[in-house]
Structure 1
Amino acid sequence: MAAKFSDTETSPRPVLGILLRLAAMAILSLMFALVKLAGERGIHLTESLFYRQLAGLPVAIAWLWWTGALASIRTTRPLQHGIRMVLGASAMALNFSAMLLLPMAEATTFGFAAQIFATILAALLLGEPTGRYRWGAVALGFVGVLIALQPGGEAIPLQGAAVALVGALVTAGVIIQLRRMAQTEPAGAIVFWFSLTSLVPLGIAVLLFGKNHDAESWAILAGLSLAGAVAQILLTASLRHASVAAIMTMDYSALLWSAFIGFAVFGEIPSYSIWLGAPLIIGAGLIIAWREQYLARKRAMEAAEYPFG
């Protein structure tokens, strides 16, 4: 019989949660490397996206069954799921494209700007109060982006950098949409409907752009699909054993994996500007996360002290 857990249940094993998150980052980096290999073999981007999502759907269903949360997929907000699908599929396409256009370390670094963009969008669209700490972090992050772009120096491909930054912006849009949906929709419904609905436009695109491949190309597609599915499980499992605040810093280990795999597989050597700009971008993200955690704790304490308002 399936084990029964709620969407929010966690086990007090933060070390395990951190290890799972680190493993997820390593496997995601492997997935992106396979995306680059697929591109080098002439596999269309839409094929990589389609098979990534196709592998993720049964994983989502199996996870919901295992956790006893299949009933949570019922929804009365199809429009919100449609918006999430458009944003999520667009973000995936842009982030995959960035990996094809840039060295892995550079693409990963620009992707970290999503948290910075999310802070701006939260202030503009959700009306979230944003004080000097978070605005200061936003400024710090943009300085890091400028350094990584190295204007006037050894040029990073402009098209690739633009795609990566737009991808980070759309990813920030996904973060904002998820915040909205989390108020009414359980996590299981969000994951399931994104996995299912994204296959519709991607399936149409594959019919238009897909083609037959040799055995090695199919193996690459299978590998990136499997890596994406395993990473999805690990990301979800990590949240069951540790808080978001405890594991978020582990996400930045992706830069080290990307730099290592990029060098080992593609002979890419990250430019000095990436190693100068990345710490500023990462630092900005950590400041934003720390501030949000601090304010959430403060609100919880105030609510406990004044339970009747």
Structure 2
Amino acid sequence: MREFDTSSTESDERARLRRLNINLLYALDALLHSPSLTAAANAIAISQPAMSVKLRQLRDHFGDELVLFGERRHLTALGEALQSRVGRLLREINDTFTLTLHFDPATAHQTVTLTAPEVIELMFISRIVPQLRAVAPGIELKMVPFVHGSTRRLFDAGVDVAIVPGAMVDDGLRATTLFAHGPSALVWEKHPLVGRLVSEAEYLAARHAAVHGDMEKQMFGEYDSNHQLARRNVVVRTGLHSMLPALAIGSDLIVTTSNWFAQYQASYLPVTLLDLEIPSPTTALVAQWQPYRDREPIIRWLIAELKRGADAIGQPIPISL
């Protein structure tokens, strides 16, 4: 049987990679994300002819067209596979060459990117921002939209720290639990069920409003067809947790949301929480970040501040559902 010299192949591959200019990565990122060749050239401040040369070099290197420009841009399968990888690699390169072990929050001038489900951003992040601004006035906190699904995709999009529900926790990432929450029932303060213990039968007979089913399950965990949440008569679905209190006010709807968020809304809106006889499960809300950034001072500082903020707001009043 013929034996292959793998060490020679690996050496040839390393030599081939060393011949590449790192600037090609920036060109590749621009080409994979821009609507035209001209826009890609403008994105990295070079001329269109120069970008055409770089595109040819990249096609030669990968043996693939990567991207085709016409009436609209079309990525090849390899181009699509490279799109998020290149962005992640450029961020890691930037992190590497800008990394410093000296960090004083009082004097630092950096940007840190955070994402969290809308309900957590409204209830939790909004309450700790004043403290973050007080101790680190030069740190820009950039909140980006949260996308339910894969936590790793959040980091591919440039997030430094993500706050995710327990169902989305990725075991391959660093994690620290901030607090636990569970579903609760929020209603208009003049709802006929207010002021007494509500039975399961009364709860199920009522009309309900909730976020979309996939969002709800990722926030509170999976539940089967026998669970009360699956057996509700949901007549309104929304993609925004912030819409739920507005749907409750002046109506007979029961809305299901996080007990933290429900109590926060009840503190200043004409809504209140129902007292139900149905037991309520809880799930964790967890901060996650990339393992390779575990020792970065700004990441460690942000995680500590998030944990301190979570500890400071205590625990929600136990509510059954």
Question: Same-fold call, TM > 0.5?
Answer: no
Q: Which has the larger radius of gyration?
A: 2
Larger helix proportion of the pair: 1
Normalized against structure 2, the TM-score is what?
A: 0.23
Larger strand proportion of the pair: 2
